[in-house]
Amino acid sequence: MTYSDVTEAKVSSEQATAAMRTMATSLERRVRERTAQFQTLMAELALSEERERRLLARDLHDELAQTLAIVKIKLTSLEGSERRGVLKAALSEMEEHIDQAHRSVRSLMLHLSPPILGTLGLVPALEWLSEEMERLYGLAVHIEREDDLPVLEEPARTTIFRAIRELLINVSKHADTNLASIDCHRQEGDRLSITVTDQGRGFDYEKAVSCPAGESGFGLISVRERIEFIGGEMEVSSRPGAGATIRIIFPARKRQTLREGQQDDDSSPAGRRSQDTA
């Protein structure tokens, strides 16, 4: 082998290495681009889903809730009817069923698209959610928050709200406790951190998420995926007998903060209309 052969082999090796580096760089760039496109698509899907929820809530109010209200008025108008004595028990029972149906419709409207989420923002919506959790599940939820928190863009706000609700429902069903807490604060880099904590029986997270879908995991895989799809992070800390701490972190909209009681400028007309009908 001559000196020329060695030189040519070295050059060929260097060229091959450079080509591989170029290929790896191109592949990394394409993966980043595809990931960004995928996150954008998931955000658009989340917004579309939320619009459908608002439309459904509005239809429930405009159609079913109004019909129930009219039926209740008609029944009440029979108060002075001669048949009232004969039908008193049956009419009273019908009125009770109508009242229950109306409460169910109103509750469904609120859970489909909580008006307060669009008009007042995430933290007031979480405060409303804490009241609902105690009313529906007997779970007392204590909320700690800073006075000045970053504002979230949609669909992050709605996605995080629904994730927190699912986490609290998990606590009520699986943690064997009637107490939980939510801590909202700003992290370095203008990021919003929301932590759900309970002192229940805890669980082995790695074991839980490794089980087949539907058998365990408490929906945590789905929650994590939804959070990560919109650019957030979720951290889980738990072990049997030691409760659980689940933290959701999301980058906030720059140069804007939301004080308590201040309306988020992302509020939509649909959200305001739903608030009027609640």
Question: Do both 106 and 128 map to the same domain?
Answer: no
Single out the residue in 95, 113, 131 at which a domain terminates.
113
Three-state DSSP class for 147? coil
Which one, of 211, 214, 206, 142, lies nearest residue 171 by Cα?
Answer: 142
> What kind and span of H or E run contains 69?
helix 66-76
> How does pLDDT run across 125-167, given as a tens digit for each residue?
999 999 989 988 899 999 999 888 888 877 788 888 989 998 9
Q: Distance (Å, rounded) from C-alpha 33 to C-alpha 30?
A: 5
Q: Distance (Å, rounded) from C-alpha 232 to C-alpha 247?
A: 11
Q: What is the CA radius of gyration of the chain?
A: 27
- Which residues, 6 or more positions from 263, have their beta carbon under 8 angstroms from its beta carbon? 119, 120, 121
Residue 140 is predicted with a pLDDT of 95
Domain encompassing residue 143: 120-277
Backbone angles phi, psi at 256, to 5 degrees: -140, 140
Single out the residue in 84, 113, 142 at which a domain terminates.
113
Overall pTM > 0.75: no
Single out the residue in 92, 113, 134 at which a domain terminates.
113
Count of structural domains within the chain: 2
pLDDT digit string (tens) for the chain, length 278 residues: 555 665 666 667 777 788 888 888 888 888 877 766 666 666 666 666 666 666 676 766 676 777 777 777 777 776 655 555 666 777 777 778 888 777 777 777 666 767 788 788 889 999 999 998 998 889 999 999 988 888 887 778 888 898 999 899 989 988 899 999 999 999 887 889 999 999 999 988 888 777 655 444 567 888 888 888 878 899 999 989 889 999 999 887 543 333 333 444 343 433 443 334 33
Question: Do both 74 and 163 map to the same domain?
Answer: no
Contact 171, 139 (CB under 8 A): yes
**Do strands 191-198 and 244-251 pair parallel, antiparallel, or not at all (unpaired)?**
antiparallel
Which one, of 250, 270, 273, lies nearest residue 122 by Cα?
Answer: 250
DSSP 148-196: EEEPPPTTHHHHHHHHHHHHHHHHHHHS--SEEEEEEEEETTTEEEEEE
CATH code: domain of residue 163: 3.30.565.10
Question: Do both 212 and 243 map to the same domain?
Answer: yes
Q: Distance (Å, rounded) from C-alpha 111 to C-alpha 124?
A: 14
Question: Do both 147 and 245 map to the same domain?
Answer: yes
Question: Do both 196 and 85 map to the same domain?
Answer: no
**Do strands 179-187 and 140-145 pair parallel, antiparallel, or not at all (unpaired)?**
parallel
Q: Distance (Å, rounded) from C-alpha 113 to C-alpha 120?
A: 13
The amino acid present at 160, given as its one-letter code, is I
Question: Do both 169 and 205 map to the same domain?
Answer: yes
49, 126, 221, 172 alpha-carbon torsion, rounded to 10°: -120
The token pair that represents 206 in the structure block: 């790695």
The count of other CB atoms within 10 Å of the CB of residue 130 is 20
